Amino acid sequence: MEREPSKRALQIRSVISVLVIVVLWETAARAGLASPLFLPAFTAVMAEWWTVCADGSLPADLLTSLFRAFAGLFAATLIGVGLGIAMARSRLVHWIFDPVIALAFPSPKIAFLPIFILWFGIYSTSKILLVAFACVFPIVIGTYAAASAINRVWIWSAYSLGTSNLTLLFRIVLPAAWPRIFAALRVALPVSLITTFTAEMVGGGGGMGAALMYSQRFFESPTVFAYILTMLVVGLLLDAIMLRIQTAFPAWHSNA
């Protein structure tokens, strides 16, 4: 029976894969297989990355984008968790909101960007609200599924002991539903980043996406690739942090 690779082996394999891609990238660029306009050398991209970091432009753009993404995700979490639990606990609330969620969830949220810009301007407010709008639906659906799956015996036992609705929420419902809620948040996190970067690319107003498109208009290819690589690394690091938190707290895992 074939043994599964260890965690260390998987990490080494991932590093080797990345190194192979970097070597092929650098080789192709240095060999002139593609124009530097379309594929600058990896070393040139890293040199430009260091330049934009040293002058403060990339860190400032990154902080702007992360603020918008996290603020929107935070708002979506507050609304989504509350609404999801309310839908699971109340038939009336479920009857009112279920058709709305079923209609809005599959829609491309970035298509609403012109409306958000028209109502709230091109800067942070429109981006934050659009992120919240994009992230709230997976959180609502995940929370509703989690709260609906709670063992009814726990609920009945708590009521039989005279537990109030507020105590039931914080002592039974939220702890039991949290693993699946956390899984929904892990899904919503990359959605918040994607929505933020895309909204900035399309609507401007500063941030990573706007800076990337500005560089592209002036054919500053190393800067474009530097920003793209930063976006990829930030997404990877944030997902790794979420996974580490989930591992550190086993009760937050959906299989717990």
User: What is the number of alpha carbons within 13 Å of residue 233 lying toward its C-beta?
Assistant: 9
Is residue 240 very low, low, confident or very high in pLDDT (cuts 50, 70, 90)?
Answer: confident
Q: pLDDT for 18-48, tens place per residue?
A: 889 889 988 888 888 888 888 899 999 999 9
Residue type, 96: I
Helices (H) and strands (E) in the chain, counts: 11, 0
Q: How many C-beta neighbours within 10 Å does residue 167 have?
A: 12
Q: Return the pLDDT at 1.
A: 45
SS3 219: coil
Look at 127 and 12; give whichever has higher pLDDT: 127
Cα separation, 228 vs 205, in Å, equals 18
Percent of the chain with pLDDT over 70: 92
Q: Return the pLDDT at 134.
A: 94
- The pTM (predicted TM-score) of the whole model is 0.85
Q: pLDDT for 171-195, tens place per residue?
A: 777 777 888 888 889 889 999 999 9
All structural domains of the chain, each given as residue ranges with its CATH number in brackets, are 58-252 (1.10.3720.10)
Contact by Cβ (8 Å): 130, 202: no
Enter the tokens of residue 249. Answer: 């707290």
Indicate if the pLDDT at residue 14 is higher than 80.
no
What is the length of the chain? 256
CA dihedral 154, 155, 156, 159 (to 10 degrees): 120
Cα separation, 173 vs 170, in Å, equals 6
Nearest to 191 by CA among 82, 80, 49: 80
CA dihedral 227, 229, 233, 235 (to 10 degrees): 70
Is residue 54 very low, low, confident or very high in pLDDT (cuts 50, 70, 90)?
Answer: very high
Q: Return the pLDDT at 188.
A: 93
Q: Return the pLDDT at 250.
A: 59
Indicate if the pLDDT at residue 251 is higher than 90.
no
